[in-house]
Amino acid sequence: MAQKPRQPDTARARYDSAFAPALALAVLFLAVYAFDCGQGFITDDFNLILHGAFDGPGALWRIFTTSVGFYRPLVSLTFGVNHWLFGLDPIGYGLFNLALAGVCAVLVWRLARGLDLANGLAVTAAALWLFNFHGINMSVLWLSGRSSLLSTAFSLLAAIAWLRPAAWPAALACLAAMFSKEEAVTLPLLFSSWALILRRGGGGPDGDMRLRDTAPLWLALGIYLACRASTDAFWIGSAPEYYRPAVEIGRVAVNVAHYADRSMTFSAMAVLLCVMVVRRVPWPWPRSSRIAALGAAWIVTGFALTAFLPVRSSLYAVFPSVGAALVAASVIGDVLRYGSPRTAARLGWSGVLLVGLLLPVYWSRNVRWTELAKVSSSVSAQLALRRDTIPTGSSIVIVDDDATRANLRNAWAGHVPQMARLVFGDRWTIEVVAPGTAEVLAADAVVLEFRGGQLRERPPHVDGLDGSAGNPSVQSGTVRE
């Protein structure tokens, strides 16, 4: 059985100076993502740029009163700003995502400080969120993944404001989070649960005040639902099948297991490492137990919707993993009560060193997203070089490469018309088909073949596009939120 430490909480004194480790972690974060972000546009990126385009005085009204299936006007707005600043240069879009992830990490640190964690522990919480293997790479490297980053940033701002308490600023941030991603509709429920956790025993005046402070958040939810209802955005009944939640015990259990891994494993391993170094099991102190309860509520409400969806995505772990980081930081603080200041410092720098040693792992995990972006950019550039050889108004058919995941149907995923409109205007109509597709092509269709990353001319006179019959293949993508 663990022995209760004799000394009161000394984690703040032992682990409070963390500027140097924080700076080192920031450099490592840039080393992980700075050279891989902004490689190109894929899938939903094209739609969001078109939807967010500043094409007239009514652009802002259009962005908030129409949808692209999802209702995420703030995401479209940021793409519109990026397009205004950078045109179709994806690097600027990627740097925006990179900076947004850094802002989220700072806000995790600020929230942890607001929960009275020592500075070093708050840095630990931010690092555990930022260097999680799941979700962060997808949200940074896939430009449309910024929806999770925006929602998380505004949710953190709402939490920081609500703890002050500043209910109306919290409600405004809550509304912005909902305008960024649908999972944020659970925020009023999250802060209502926080109000119950923070109540003084027996429901004292402080608890009553915090419950009243959640009213503006529920009002924000009502405003969001009213705004969404005025658009053609899909709802539960009209959503694609893979976005329709359903209570199927087996599927929910599998989802819970997967999401527990994606959101909590990295933080749990950090706690285990700390316990092994200090050789003590943490004693549950009241303050850290309360923080752990708040973090657990964050995790549960974060997955309250996505656990019931048929489709799984690591993006769904970006917001809930904040709760896991807070829980882990509070437990690490309990463990450090047993150690010396030197042990705490060594442990902090060991964490920094471990992240540095894991850089090749992070880079290898980035490839999944960068290869699709590079394919998209490369093929767009190769098509642009044919402006003088392919007449305006032509129909272009591209036979895709099924031998690799890095192909056009995965990169563009059913958004070929939007890609063609955004990149080439009305110059051509472009279609992507699978090898073996039996198609009746227009006599003047220009048939190209994508192989080994290159577009090549292909004679269009064969029966099937590769000389063999096959079933038509739609552009079915693998990237989903």
Chain-centroid distance of CA 23 in Å reads: 23
Closest CA to 183 of 318, 309, 305: 305
What tokens does 62 get? 């259009």
Measured CA to CA, the distance from residue 139 to residue 326 in angstroms comes to 20
Measured CA to CA, the distance from residue 369 to residue 371 in angstroms comes to 6
Q: What is the pLDDT along the chain (481 residues), one digit of tens a residue?
A: 344 444 444 444 444 567 888 999 999 999 999 999 999 999 999 999 999 998 888 889 999 999 888 999 999 999 999 999 999 999 999 999 999 999 999 999 999 999 989 898 999 999 999 999 999 999 999 999 999 999 999 999 999 999 988 899 999 999 999 999 999 999 999 999 999 888 754 444 455 557 788 899 999 999 999 999 999 888 777 777 767 777 788 888 998 999 999 999 999 999 998 888 877 777 666 677 888 899 999 999 999 998 888 888 999 999 999 999 999 999 988 888 776 677 777 888 888 899 999 999 999 999 999 999 999 999 999 999 988 888 888 888 888 888 888 899 999 988 899 999 999 988 888 989 888 765 555 567 788 889 888 888 876 555 444 444 343 343 444 555 6
pLDDT of residue 113: 93
Measured CA to CA, the distance from residue 63 to residue 86 in angstroms comes to 19
CA 326, 328, 333 angle in degrees (round to 5)? 95
What tokens does 416 get? 């070929």
pLDDT of residue 17: 64
Closest CA to 184 of 175, 193, 194, 172: 175
DSSP per-residue letters across 174-216:
HHHHHTT-GGGGGHHHHHHHHHHHH--TTT-HHHHHHHHHTHH
Instruction: Name the helix (H) or strand (E) containing 433.
Output: strand 429-433
pLDDT of residue 143: 96
Say which residues have a Cβ less than 8 Å from residue 132's Cβ, sequence separation at least 6.
262, 263, 266, 267, 317, 321, 325
Q: Report how far apart, in Å, the C-alpha atoms of 295 and of each of 95, 306, 322, 326, 454 are.
A: 30, 18, 8, 6, 49
Q: Report how far apart, in Å, the C-alpha atoms of 244 and of each of 1, 217, 437 are.
A: 47, 25, 31
Measured CA to CA, the distance from residue 425 to residue 43 in angstroms comes to 17
Cross-strand pairs, 68 = 70
Measured CA to CA, the distance from residue 24 to residue 131 in angstroms comes to 13
Give the ranges where 214-248 is alpha helix by DSSP (H): 215-229
Query: Is residue 51 classed as helix, strand or coil in its secondary structure?
Result: helix
Measured CA to CA, the distance from residue 458 to residue 58 in angstroms comes to 45
Whether the CB-CB separation of 336 and 228 falls below 8 Å is answered with: no
pLDDT of residue 28: 96
Torsion of CA 366, 370, 29, 187, to 10 degrees: -80
Measured CA to CA, the distance from residue 257 to residue 233 in angstroms comes to 30
